[in-house]
């Protein structure tokens, strides 16, 4: 246990070769992290994207193979499977509105992937994130540490960016944390945000902090409303790439992820965003914060909205 995956011939499968999936394939190859298998239901499309990315190999300076396919046999023995398949948001559609369509897609693609990669670590990206992560975990039958959702790294990066812009400081000096569900009740935590070690509560007034937290909560919607035809994909791909690297290189990164809770924070049998230790075993630890009563109530409210949607998805899938 806790040994990095030995060879450097890692394979990452990405299911869903749309905006997030294709951008993530590019990031993984450019960072020389792994060979990539890009799967989509649309024939020819993942093959075209893989070929296009391969044409850039010499320019991007890597030797990573990127294969596009519609056949899950090509995904066999992946170290990591990332699931982005589904539909994205459009103006007027909340993440929760996507449940009906995406639940079916996520369960189906996960079942196909696990048949070929029973030992992989699964990272779910499809929205509504915490609900889809729960469904995918059920579909894999894996221990919960091997299944996780990507959202907190992205939401925290948005919070980090907005703090840096507001204060006019270098973004890499800013640390920020967002927990809770990846939806309307996500929880940027100003108490745990700092610049060069100084809590932001000493650098900004309450109203400014509240404005930044609000922009973080609606960071995805701000992009959807500008683009109109879909959502964000560049920062989401970077966030997922960070998680892939943390796992493949056994980095023990302390990052927020949608993780399975078994009593932590007084919550059970749910996936929700919490700080985690991420390494080659997947979620190696859920880190419990000393939340205030108010923060704990907000996390529980966030968890009950995820729970309601898990139940709704179960009904839609005919599980209940
Ligand atoms: O923080 C986060 N977790 C997120 C989540 C950040 C950004 C995007 N987020 C969600 O990811 C978004 O709301 C969507 O639910 C997914 C994918 O977003 P993306 O922007 O990449 O959507 P696209 O471009 O429409 O790509 C989806 C692809 C598309 O190519 C479809 O043909 C494919 O999914 N798809 C399938 N592939 C394989 N198998 C099946 N059944 C299938 N159905 C659709």
179 pLDDT more than 90: yes
Q: For residues 252 and 283, is the Cβ–Cβ distance under 8 A?
A: no
What are the angstrom distances between the C-alpha of 190 and each of 187, 254, 274? 9, 17, 15
- pLDDT single digits (tens) 86-108: 998 888 888 888 999 999 999 99
The ipTM assigned to this model is 0.99
Pocket around ligand 1 at a 6 A CB cut-off: 15-21, 39-42, 84-89, 98, 102, 105, 108-109, 125-127, 129, 150-151, 154, 182, 230-233, 236
Chain center to CA of 240: 6
Q: For residues 231 and 88, is the Cβ–Cβ distance under 8 A?
A: yes
149 pLDDT more than 60: yes
- Indicate the pairing of strand 35-39 with strand 66-69: parallel
Catalytic residue among 182, 218, 249, 300: 182
Count of C-beta atoms within a 10 Å radius of residue 295: 18
- pLDDT single digits (tens) 189-214: 999 999 999 999 999 999 999 999 99
- Report the number of secondary-structure helices (H) and strands (E) in the chain: 10, 14
Query: Catalytic residue at 182?
Result: yes
Among 190, 152, 151, 150, residue whose Cα is nearest residue 174 = 190
Helices 45-55 and 19-30 pack at an angle, to 10 degrees, of 30
Residue nearest to atom 41 of ligand 1 (CA): 105
Task: Give the pLDDT band (50/70/90) at residue 316.
Answer: confident
Chain center to CA of 267: 21
Q: Which helix (H) or strand (E) holds 263?
A: none
Q: For residues 38 and 17, is the Cβ–Cβ distance under 8 A?
A: yes
Chain-wide mean pLDDT for the chain?
95
Q: What percent of the chain has pLDDT over 90?
A: 91
What's the 265 CA to ligand 1 centre distance in angstroms?
A: 30
158 pLDDT more than 50: yes
- pLDDT single digits (tens) 43-75: 999 999 999 999 999 999 999 999 999 999 999
Give the ranges where 9-128 is alpha helix by DSSP (H): 19-30, 45-55, 57-60, 99-116
Residue 120 burial class via C-beta count within 10 angstroms: exposed 0-12, middle 13-18, buried 19 and up: buried
Dihedral sign (CA 83, 89, 95, 99): negative
User: What does the alpha-carbon distance between residue 48 and residue 46 come to, in Å, rounded to a whole number?
Assistant: 5
Q: Under 8 Å CB-to-CB from 6, ≥6 apart: which residues? A: none
User: What does the alpha-carbon distance between residue 24 and residue 239 come to, in Å, rounded to a whole number?
Assistant: 9
What value, to the nearest 5°, has the Cα angle with vertex 88 and ends 86 and 92? 140
What's the 96 CA to ligand 1 centre distance in angstroms?
A: 14
What's the 18 CA to ligand 1 centre distance in angstroms?
A: 6
pTM (predicted TM-score):
0.96
Q: For residues 187 and 213, is the Cβ–Cβ distance under 8 A?
A: no
Residue nearest to atom 20 of ligand 1 (CA): 19
Please, what's the b/e burial string for 23-59 (b: 16 or more CB within 10 A of its CB; e: otherwise)?
Answer: bbbbbbbbbebbbbbbbbeeeebbbebbeebbeeeee
């Amino acid at each position: 246990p806790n040994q990095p995956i030995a060879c450097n011939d890692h394979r990452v499968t990405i299911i869903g070769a749309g905006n997030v999936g294709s951008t993530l394939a590019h990031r993984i190859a450019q960072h020389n992290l792994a060979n990539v298998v890009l799967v989509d239901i649309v024939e020819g499309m993942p093959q075209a994207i893989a070929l296009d990315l391969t044409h850039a190999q010499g320019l991007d300076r890597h030797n990573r193979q990127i294969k596009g396919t519609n056949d899950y046999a090509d995904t066999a023995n992946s170290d990591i499977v990332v699931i982005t398949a589904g539909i994205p948001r459009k103006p007027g559609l909340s993440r929760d509105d996507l449940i009906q369509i995406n639940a079916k897609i996520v369960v189906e693609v996960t079942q196909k992937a696990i048949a070929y990669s029973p030992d992989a670590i699964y990272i779910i990206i499809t929205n509504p994130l915490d609900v889809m992560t729960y469904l995918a975990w059920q579909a894999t039958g894996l221990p919960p540490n091997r299944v996780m959702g990507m959202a907190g790294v992205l939401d925290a990066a948005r919070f980090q960016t907005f703090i840096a812009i507001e204060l006019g400081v270098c973004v890499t000096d800013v640390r920020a944390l967002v927990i809770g569900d990846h939806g309307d009740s996500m929880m940027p935590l100003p108490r745990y945000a700092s610049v060069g070690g100084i809590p932001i509560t000493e650098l900004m007034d309450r109203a400014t902090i509240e404005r930044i937290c609000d922009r973080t909560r609606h960071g995805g919607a701000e992009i959807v409303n500008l683009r109109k035809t879909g959502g964000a994909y560049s920062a989401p791909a970077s966030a997922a790439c960070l998680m892939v690297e943390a796992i493949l290189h056994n980095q023990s990164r302390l990052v927020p992820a949608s993780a399975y809770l078994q009593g932590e924070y007084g919550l059970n049998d749910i996936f929700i965003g919490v700080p985690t230790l991420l390494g080659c075993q997947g979620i190696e630890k859920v880190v419990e914060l000393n939340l205030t009563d108010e923060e704990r109530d907000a996390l529980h409210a966030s968890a009950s909205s995820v729970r309601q949607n898990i139940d709704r998805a179960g009904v839609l899938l005919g599980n209940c």
